[in-house]
């Protein structure tokens, strides 16, 4: 298969493309490419990509990467000429990310990080496509006691025999698979370790605290933090994450794993109170036991990605929260759980 397009635009595959980050990535890639979005809608929403469906350079394939994926068998992809042009880039963001339904999807999560990973990597080998793996900050383990920023050269330390391990250890193994395929088959496989991300289209009512904070504040309900008043985190706005991914993939050579996140530490209660202020709500903050998927994570050292790509986060927390509030206000009556729809 050709490594450069024989038609006017690259063919790009985004798995998990109807998800929170994936939908923004599809939107961005459509500026210069033809985009094939694959999703099984376990924790994604068709509403995230409805605005893209009329674009002739976009096609949605409802499929599960845990099963082999033969792109050339889909008649709706005939206009992409996959059999002749192939696929030039693959972005793998397919993995369940549901705090409240984490236990329900543990098996699918495990498979996405092994058999699903194999299937998308096999596509990269078949088409000699450049490959991006959306990894995560959890590969580093819990927040270090001394609070230092995680460098890409650090090894993660956590118990691999816990209910979370299908995600934590799975994501780490997925990195190993990407590296092994790179060394054995010679594909260009790149890894971005994405830290806690927020913004419009993040699933509601599912334990993702920022979107739930906003909706509860608008409804004058209590804002629930799954932890205590000392729960701290960093927050990176979704379009900044997409910018980092695009810049990373545009590099002429693989830079190695790169952290994608914010190194600004903030108490979650301060974020909740800021949202209450922005929405002029009378809500109060309450605390509940942590969910298995939510825990105190460390912050990234961003020196390497800044050096390699010139990327820096551009959207301030206040501006990002305001965009998130505006989106929720505009879509409040439509934003209801739609998993599996």
Annotated active-site residue 167? The verdict is: yes
Mean pLDDT on 316-334: 88
**Out of 167, 181, 226, 237, which one is annotated catalytic?**
167
Question: Where is average pLDDT lowest: 150-154, 170-174, 286-290?
Answer: 286-290
For the record, the structure tokens of 121 come out as 């990597």
Residue 336 has pLDDT above 60, yes or no: no
- Mean pLDDT, to the nearest integer, of 63-91? 96
Tell whether the model's pLDDT for residue 337 goes beyond 50.
no
Q: What is the pLDDT of residues 244-278, one digit of tens each?
A: 999 999 999 999 999 999 999 999 999 999 999 99
Strand 285-288, strand 236-237: pairing: unpaired
Please tell me the predicted confidence (pLDDT) of residue 228.
87
Q: Quick check: pTM over 0.75?
A: yes
Cα–Cα nearest to 91, from 6, 156, 42, 28: 28
Q: Is the pLDDT of residue 161 over 80?
A: no
d(CA 321, CA 262): 14
Give the distance, in angstroms, between the CA of residue 7 and the centroid of all CA atoms in the same chain: 29
| CATH class given for the domain over 10-197+235-262+295-313 | alpha beta
pLDDT value, residue 339: 42
Average pLDDT over every residue of 162-183: 91
- The DSSP letter of residue 244 is H
Q: How many CA atoms lie within 13 A of 152 on its CB side?
A: 19
How far is residue 202's CA from residue 190's CA, in Å, rounded to a whole number? 25
Token reading at 112:
């996405």
- What is residue 144's DSSP assignment? P
Alpha-carbon distance 324 to 121, whole Å?
34
| DSSP letters for 188-257 | -EEEEEE--EE-TTPPSSSS-HHHHHHHHHHTTPPEEEES-TT-EE--EEHHHHHHHHHHHHHSSS---S
Q: Are 154 and 217 in contact (CB under 8 A)?
A: no
4-8, 39-43, 175-179, 208-212 — which is least confidently predicted? 4-8
| CA distance linking residue 25 with residue 92, whole number of Å | 11
Q: What are phi and psi of 40, to 5 degrees?
A: -105, 0
Span 296-311, mean pLDDT? Answer: 94
Q: Which of 43-47, 103-107, 153-157, 231-235 has the lowest mean pLDDT?
A: 153-157
Would the pLDDT of 98 be above 90? no
Residue 24 to residue 18: CA distance in whole angstroms: 9
Contact between 275 and 222 under an 8 Å Cβ cutoff? The reply is no
Kind of pairing between the strands at 266-267 and 232-233: antiparallel
Other beta carbons within 10 Å of 252? 5
* Backbone φ, ψ for residue 2 (5° rounding): -70, 145
pLDDT digits (tens, 9 = 90+) for 32-51: 999 999 999 998 889 999 99
Q: Which residues are CB-contacts of 317 (< 8 A; sequence separation ≥ 6)?
A: 235, 264, 266, 271, 274
37, 17 contact by CB (below 8 A)? yes
């Amino acid at each position: 298969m050709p490594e450069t397009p024989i038609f006017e635009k690259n063919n790009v595959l985004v798995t998990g493309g109807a998800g929170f980050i994936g939908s923004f990535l599809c939107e961005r890639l459509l500026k210069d490419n033809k985009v094939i979005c694959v999703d099984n809608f376990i924790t994604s929403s068709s509403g995230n990509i409805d605005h893209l469906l009329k674009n002739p350079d976009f096609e949605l394939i409802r499929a599960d990467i845990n099963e082999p994926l033969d792109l050339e068998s889909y008649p709706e992809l005939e206009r992409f000429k996959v059999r002749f042009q192939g696929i030039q880039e693959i972005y793998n963001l397919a993995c369940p990310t549901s705090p409240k339904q984490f236990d329900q999807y543990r098996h699918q999560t495990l498979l996405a990080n092994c058999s699903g990973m194999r299937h998308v990597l096999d596509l990269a080998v078949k088409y000699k496509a450049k490959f991006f793996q959306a990894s995560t900050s959890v590969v580093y383990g819990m927040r270090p006691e001394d609070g230092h920023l995680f460098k890409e050269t650090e090894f993660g330390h956590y118990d691999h025999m816990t209910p979370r391990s299908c995600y934590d250890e799975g994501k780490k193994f997925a990195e190993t698979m990407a590296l092994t395929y790179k060394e054995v088959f010679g594909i260009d496989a790149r890894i971005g370790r994405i830290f806690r991300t927020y913004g419009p289209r993040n699933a509601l009512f599912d334990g993702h605290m920022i979107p739930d904070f906003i909706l509860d504040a608008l409804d004058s309900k209590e804002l629930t933090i799954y932890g205590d008043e000392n729960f701290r985190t960093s927050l990176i706005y979704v379009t900044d994450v997409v910018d980092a991914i695009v810049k990373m993939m545009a590099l002429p050579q693989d830079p190695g794993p790169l952290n994608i996140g914010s190194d600004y530490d903030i108490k979650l209660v301060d974020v909740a109170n800021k949202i209450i202020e922005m929405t002029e709500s009378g809500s109060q903050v309450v605390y509940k036991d942590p969910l298995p998927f939510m825990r105190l994570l460390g912050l990234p050292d961003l020196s390497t990605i800044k050096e390699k790509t010139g990327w820096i986060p551009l959207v301030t927390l206040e501006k990002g929260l305001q965009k998130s509030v505006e989106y929720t206000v505009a879509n409040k009556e439509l934003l209801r759980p739609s998993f599996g729809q």
